[in-house]
């Protein structure tokens, strides 16, 4: 019966390996991702962005523009155009964001006014805390 015992032990080994090979991914699957869930917050001084002006930053690897709107306060929008990915520029005079690649036009809420973009610009949550503007 030596062969049968050997086979039984082999089966046990293979079975255990399989359980571990599934167990490890299962644990990692359910575990929260390290660090990435911590959305880093971007803190900007209010004084850095005068009324009607804007400033560009990088937030979570995305280029972001923060505009100090004359009537509605701060807004943080992704600069990535939703058409093909070029970065929009803020035209203060016309109060629009213009994409230089195919003339996609957004208003200062990020909504599409004209041109090829299919969706509005991604918006990021903004809070004003005292002297600071907190994005994210």
Partner 1 sequence: MRYLFLSLLMVLSLPLGSLAGYREEFEREFLSKPWAGEQMEEDACIACHVAEKMDPKFRNIPQSWKMSIHYQHNVSCHHCHGGDPKDAEMSMSRERGFVGTPKYAEVPEFCGKCHVGILKNYLESGHGKALKSTGKGPNCVTCHGSHKDEQYIKKAHIDIINERLCSKCHSYERAKIMKQTLFLTEKKMGALDEGFSRLKAEGVYIEEEEKALFNIQAEFRTLFHTVDVSLVKERTDEFVKKLEPIEMKVKNTFHELRFRRNFSAFLMLLFAGMGIVVFVLSRPPRE
Partner 2 sequence: MGVGRKIRDWFEVRIGLDDFANVQFREFRVPRNVNVFHTLGLVTVVAYMIQVITGILLLVYYVPHPDFAFKSVQEIMNTVSFGWLLRQMHVVGSSLMVIVVFLHMASVFFMGGYRKPREMTWAVGGLMFLITLVFCLSGYLLPWTQLSYWATTVVTSIPTAFPFIGDFISRVLRGGEYVTGITLGRFFALHVSILPLIFLFLMVLHIFFVKRTGLSTPPFGVSSGQQNPWTAYRRETHPDGYPFYPYFVRKEIFMGMLYLTVMFFFITFFPTLFLPEEANTPADPLRTPSQIRPEWYFLAPYQMLKLIPNKFIGITLQLILVAVFLLWPFLDTKKEPNILKRPVLKTVFFLALIILAVLTIWGNYR
Where on the chain is the footprint of partner 1 (CB under 8 A)?
Answer: 4, 7-8, 10-11, 14-15, 17-18, 21, 80, 84-87, 98-103, 115-116
Output the smallest distance, CB 50 to partner 1, in A: 26
By CB under 8 A, the residues from 2 to 61 that bind partner 2 are 25-26, 28-31, 33
**Alpha-carbon gap, residue 52 to 107, rounded angstroms:** 14
Interface with partner 2: number of residues (CB under 8 A): 7
Q: What phi and psi, each to the nearest 5 degrees, are found at residue 126?
A: -125, 135
Residue 4 partner contact from partner 2, partner 1, none using kind-dependent CB cut-offs of 5 to 8 Å: partner 1
Q: How far apart are the first and last CA of the chain?
A: 68
The Cα 133–Cα 45 span in angstroms is 6
């Amino acid at each position: 019966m030596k062969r049968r015992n050997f086979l039984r032990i082999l089966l046990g080994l293979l079975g255990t390996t399989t359980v571990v090979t599934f167990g490890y991914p299962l644990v990692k699957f359910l575990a929260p991702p390290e660090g990435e869930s911590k959305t880093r917050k971007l803190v900007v001084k209010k004084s850095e962005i005068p009324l009607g002006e804007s400033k560009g930053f990088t937030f979570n690897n995305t280029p972001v523009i923060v505009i100090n709107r004359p009537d509605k306060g701060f807004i943080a929008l992704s600069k990535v155009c939703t058409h093909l990915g070029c970065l929009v520029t803020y035209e203060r005079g016309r109060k629009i964001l213009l994409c230089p690649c195919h003339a996609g036009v957004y208003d200062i809420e990020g909504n599409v006014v004209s041109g090829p973009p299919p969706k509005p610009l991604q918006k990021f949550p903004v809070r004003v805390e005292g002297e600071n503007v907190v994005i994210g």
